Amino acid sequence: MSVEHATTIPSPTDVGALANRINFQTRDMHNKINAYMSMKMAFAMRHGFIYRQGIVAYYYVFHAIEQEIDRLLEHPVTVQDEKVKGILQQFWCEEFRRSDKLVLDLQVLYNDEYPGSEQLQEFLDGFQLPAKLQEFVDEIHSNVQKEPHTILAYCHVLYLALFAGGRVMKSNLYRHIGLFPKFGHLSPKELVRRATNFFTFSEEGVDDENRLRWQYKKGYELATRTELTEAEKLRIIEVSQTIFQRNMEVVAEIGEINRAELMGKFSYKLISFLSEEWKYSEKLTPEVKKLIVFALIVFNMVFVYTILRRLI
């Protein structure tokens, strides 16, 4: 018998289950962001400096969520805090914590710039969040501190999304090992293994991850079915809908920041960026292709001129 067992809780046809209600009410947004993220991730995977910025962004998102979870579990103040603490205790466990895993990945992805853990933490502590990311992080704290039950929206939407998409991401990463920086004596596969902690919930393999997922979904359903009012459930569904929009805004913001930076200066990184887009894109307009060719020609001229000056 599989880890999911003969009886899945909640059943996919259980219209009273909060998880199913969230899924139904967010289906259109879910499909939209899946298509959007697939396109953006395919783009980011060709440019490691963009990909790792996404990992940084989600460090702050999950760190904010887990700060609120820890606060509710360890220092509940109000009656509502105590109520949500009781719900969290029925499904949350340390294997789900992602912020620590994200730091492990960032230690690899930013090794050249911040070779020590203290240096990396200083970077993370002093990093100025872009506007949309800051709005998302602030909204997480604000929602949960005003209405503690809204933490359950983040628990359902973001963590289960990783269960569903994590294996796909790891598969894509293994096919794009060239985007990672060199890291000591590690082989490319060892390097990728060390930089995909965000998408890994168990070192014991797929079966153990399936067990954790089943326990999470079961505990979430049993805890939320009777212990929440209908008004609280509707609010959780509402917040779940906004999470999808916030995700799209954060990803779009990363793209806009990089586009502005790359096009604002002439550099080897820009040329590498253009070369990769030429290689992978079959839908470039003739005008864009001409621009890329021109940029590459100019870069080669500048490069040759620079070399000749050094030789003369």
Please report, in range form, the residues annotated as the binding site for heme b: 30
Run of H or E residues at 190: helix 188-194
Instruction: Give, in order, the Cα–Cα distances in Å from 212 to each of 201, 217, 273, 288, 304.
Output: 8, 9, 40, 48, 57
Q: What are phi and psi of 202, to 5 degrees?
A: -155, 140
Would you say 162 and 247 are in contact if contact means Cβ atoms under 8 Å apart? no
Return the C-alpha torsion angle 11, 13, 18, 19, nearest 10.
70
Length of the chain in terms of residues written: 312
Query: In this structure, how many other beta carbons lie within 10 angstroms of the beta carbon of residue 50?
Result: 20
- d(CA 202, CA 186) in angstroms, rounded, equals 22
Rounded (10°) angle between helices 230-263 and 131-146: 160
Return the C-alpha torsion angle 179, 184, 187, 193, nearest 10.
-70
Please state the residue numbers annotated as binding site: 30
| CA end-to-end distance (rounded Å), the chain | 75
Helices (H) then strands (E): counts for the chain: 13, 0
**Unique residue bearing structure tokens 């960026």:** 273
Would you say 243 and 158 are in contact if contact means Cβ atoms under 8 Å apart? yes
Q: Closest by alpha carbon to 149, among 61, 78, 214, 219?
A: 78
Find all residues with CB under 8 Å of 295, minimum gap 6, and list them.
Answer: 270, 271, 274
